[in-house]
Amino acid sequence: MYMRKDFLQHIDKLLEQARKEKGVLAYLVIKIRRIKDINTAYSLQTGDELLQRLEKRFRKVMRPSDVLSRTGDSEFGMVLPSLNNVSHALLAANRIVHEGEKPLEFESHFIEPNIAVGVSIATNHITHEGLIQNSTIALMEAEKNNERYRLYEPEIDRTLPPKLVLENEMHYAYEHDEYSLCFQPKIDIANQRLDGAEALIRWHSSKYGLVNTQYFVDILEESTLLMPVTKWVLNMSLRKCLEFQKIVSDFKIAVNLSPALLTNDEIIDVVASAINIWNIDPSSLVLEVTEGAMMKNPALSMDILKKLDALGVGVSIDDFGTGYSSLSYLKHLPAREIKIDRSFVMNMLDDPKDKSIVKAAIDLAHNLDLHVVAEGIEQQGMQDSLTDMGCDYGQGYHIARPMPEDALKQWLSESHWVKRTA
């Protein structure tokens, strides 16, 4: 293990090397949460042994070029040099969490570690202080949002106001066209072609800059703006879909529906109106609803989903495997597809159990005449494995990141996934 001074000097050397080679270097802050509680409940010796055993686990998933050091009472620092892209840093963070949170057996008990990771990517002129600080900020955000890991995003303003203040700003944003859409492509794995894209809302505030999407969406779902903004997203998505169909004739657009809208009959008229306004084939629209959202009011949600299905739009069950729906409920859903949650997909190359879960979900869906979308495809090996398992569709950074309209049009003109309209 590097001592603190030696560790920092080693980071500086790797930063200089990354600048010369123009490679991607990442720094991870790995925090073992609740270590004080473990020390109190068991003993300081148990806590120390837990940290030592976790360090051995982390080293198991490291590459020879990676560097690990204990940097605090409950923290480790890890440097990942010579990465191919940012997604590989996130994949490493996911592996760290997955390996580290397996239960540890002591003499008379088991302890399940709780881990959070902050990730930052080196920029051209960053120092080790800045790199570590950025990772620490990402770690704090991960803990605040109850996430296992988070990538530092420098373009996001981290001095956001309280929710009530921001909600007022969201009304201003709606009236002054500050919202926009990004699009993440979705591929047809089986037929080696593009299927369409998922539309994702973004907010670049004139006052606060680019606002964290999850932060303002959480506020939106409890505000009076939910339906107006949903109307805007639907209409803008269908308008852009028609433009994309000039390049890919059967291009489909997917739009996320808030859980709150699954108990509001008004959404049926809103969707029907948007389809009529743009005179688009209803099958070009896919509405994504989370598995958990449907369980808040199963009967009403089922009724609304059936009415949406009657309009001719597709229904997709998002984050499948993380909710609470029973198989008896699932078989009656008027859905076109399920989306396997990324947490299973990202681990399946390293964990046979996750791979078995993904394969079982694919087989189950096919037996119910549903298609399957795999989220979180971060490398070619994942895509190859999903192809072998008969997965129908896929999304992930290995294929394409979310991008603005102009960038997507450029991607469509160049991508090997696209069979172009004659």
Is 157 a member of any domain?
Answer: no
For residues 265 and 325, state if they share a domain. yes
How many whole angstroms separate alpha carbon 78 and alpha carbon 409? 38
Question: What tokens does 76 get?
Answer: 């480790």
- Give yes or no: residues 59 and 145 share one domain: yes
One pLDDT digit (tens) per residue for the chain, 422 residues: 444 668 888 898 899 888 888 778 999 999 998 888 888 888 888 888 999 999 999 998 898 899 999 988 889 999 999 887 777 888 889 889 988 888 888 877 888 889 999 999 998 778 888 899 889 888 988 887 778 899 987 655 455 677 778 888 999 999 999 999 999 999 999 888 999 999 999 999 888 888 878 778 888 988 999 999 999 999 999 999 999 999 999 999 999 998 889 889 999 999 999 999 999 999 999 999 986 667 667 788 889 999 999 999 999 988 776 554 556 667 778 888 999 877 788 778 877 888 898 999 899 889 989 999 998 898 888 999 999 999 999 998 889 888 999 999 999 988 889 875 44
- Based on the domain organization, do 100 and 175 belong to the same domain? no
Domain that holds residue 93: 4-151
Check: CB of residue 126 under 8 Å from CB of residue 157: no
pTM: 0.66
**Residue 158 covered by a domain:** no
CATH number for the domain spanning 305: value is 3.20.20.450
CATH number at residue 127: 3.30.70.270
Task: Tell me how crowded residue 313 is: count the other CB atoms within 10 A of its CB.
Answer: 20
Considering all CA atoms of the chain, what is the largest pairwise distance in Å, rounded to the nearest integer?
A: 71
Provide the domain count of the chain. 2
CB neighbours of residue 352 within 10 Å: 10
37 exposed, middle or buried (CB, 10 Å; 0-12, 13-18, 19+)? exposed
Domain C-terminal end among 83, 117, 151: 151
203 shares its domain with 325: yes
247 and 109 part of one domain: no
If asked whether residues 114 and 202 sit together in one domain, one would say no
Residue 419 counted as domain residue = no
CB-CB contact of 76 with 58 (8 Å): yes
Q: Which of 181, 179, 226 is nearest to 204 (CA)?
A: 179
Does 16 share its domain with 134? Answer: yes
Residue where a domain terminates, one of 151, 183, 206: 151
* Dihedral (Cα; 73, 75, 77, 78), 10-degree rounding: 130
Q: Is residue 422 part of a domain?
A: no
